A and B are shown apart, each in its own frame.
Chain A
């Protein structure tokens, strides 16, 4: 169950990007991130340059994982929503499908109620796309798949080059 690679293609990526772009505008938020549960950023919308997105993705996933642990300790499957209130900016974190995390950063130009409402709608759309990605990963894992990976010819030389040898 754990070793299915998450492979994102142009078409799905565009769809995800479009949904979170719309969510960012409709919820009057500053930035929206879509993050994988293992800590990798998938897509972003808004003023992303002001934030260290890579660290945000990793820490969000860590936060969600720790919260998952807490949920299990009290007999819950998971907590699907986390909210952090700051002096100026707030963080709304929610689980999308089985493997996505949606992060919305907003200030007083929006409200928790509006963000929650818009996130709910977008989450359904995002979950459908994740479902498609998941199904394809499953199909690709089958030997009958005709999907040809561009990585089928990675050589030792390619790897040495990464390390500057």
Chain B
């Protein structure tokens, strides 16, 4: 749910990074935080456990610049990937404008990706959204791993609506901005339509 403030001429959009545990969601937004102009980025808030696994969410506000005289700000959130944090994941999807699904390319994690997409569909539905229509991007992360499954196989397994698909190595920043941009484009085009 985009928040448009005509008085202060601001548009605020919420983007949620979703995916199975250890797929690289936090790495994505950490990389964006490191690269962003310090004047344009907010503070990266991480609610993590002692072992640095996301407990509730990571949050990064980003001022992107102007569109049609409005200041555009993206609020990036990640969800905890571990299976038992489902209640948290559901809460974080509340009012989101777009979802980036970060898939782990490693072959032993293929099933976890499929389960996570199914879980995303359920949790979006519970928040009043439809996974088939919400702005959505599929990121295939960890393409540099020796056990990475072939691209075609991952596409067959995980791509379901002709969504933009981006190959990535988030730890090196590869594909990270491209993924965010693909999601931002859909959200802003949605704004145009509504």
- A interface residues (Cβ-Cβ under 8 A, vs B): 1-10, 13-14, 36-40, 42, 52, 54-55, 58-59, 62, 65-66, 68-69, 149-154, 156, 158-159, 161-163
Q: Report B40 CB to chain A, min CB distance, Å.
A: 10
Looking at the complex, which one of B3, B45, B65, B77 makes contact with A162 (CB distance below 8 Å)?
B65
Per CB-CB distance, the 3 closest pairs between chain A and chain B, nearest first, are: A38-B95, A2-B128, A13-B7
Q: Judge whether B4 and A10 touch: CB under 8 Å.
A: no
Which of B105-113, B154-162, B181-189 lies at the interface? B181-189
Judge if B119 is at the interface, Cβ distance under 8 Å: no
The SS class assigned to the B binding surface is: mixed
Q: Judge whether B12 and A40 touch: CB under 8 Å.
A: yes
Which of B20-28, B53-61, B143-151 lies at the interface? B53-61
> How far, in angstroms, from A154 to B56 measured CA to CA in the complex?
34
Q: Judge whether B1 and A2 touch: CB under 8 Å.
A: yes
Q: Judge whether B181 and A6 touch: CB under 8 Å.
A: no
- B interface residues (Cβ-Cβ under 8 A, vs A): 1-8, 12, 14, 42-43, 45, 47, 56-57, 59, 61, 64-65, 67-70, 72, 75, 77, 87-88, 91-92, 94-96, 127-129, 177, 181, 184-185, 188-189, 191-192, 194
**What would 10 A/B residue contacts be, using CB atoms closer than 8 Å?**
A5-B194, A8-B4, A14-B7, A58-B75, A62-B92, A66-B91, A151-B192, A152-B192, A154-B189, A161-B65
B6 cross-chain contacts in A, Cβ below 8 A: 7-10, 13
B94 cross-chain contacts in A, Cβ below 8 A: 2, 37-38, 65
Looking at the complex, which one of B2, B7, B192 makes contact with A6 (CB distance below 8 Å)?
B2
Q: Judge whether B7 and A9 touch: CB under 8 Å.
A: yes
Q: Judge whether A8 and B5 touch: CB under 8 Å.
A: yes
Closest residue to A164 on the B side, CB-wise?
A: B65
With A14-B7, A158-B68 as given contacts, are A6 and B1 in contact (CB-CB < 8 Å)? yes
Q: Judge whether B95 and A2 touch: CB under 8 Å.
A: yes
B77 cross-chain contacts in A, Cβ below 8 A: 58
Q: Judge whether A37 and B184 touch: CB under 8 Å.
A: no
B68 cross-chain contacts in A, Cβ below 8 A: 150-151, 153-154, 158
B70 cross-chain contacts in A, Cβ below 8 A: 150-151
Q: Judge whether A10 and B7 touch: CB under 8 Å.
A: yes
Q: Judge whether A13 and B3 touch: CB under 8 Å.
A: no
> How far, in angstroms, from A51 to B189 measured CA to CA in the complex?
33
Q: Report B130 CB to chain A, min CB distance, Å.
A: 9
Q: Report B6 CB to chain A, min CB distance, Å.
A: 5
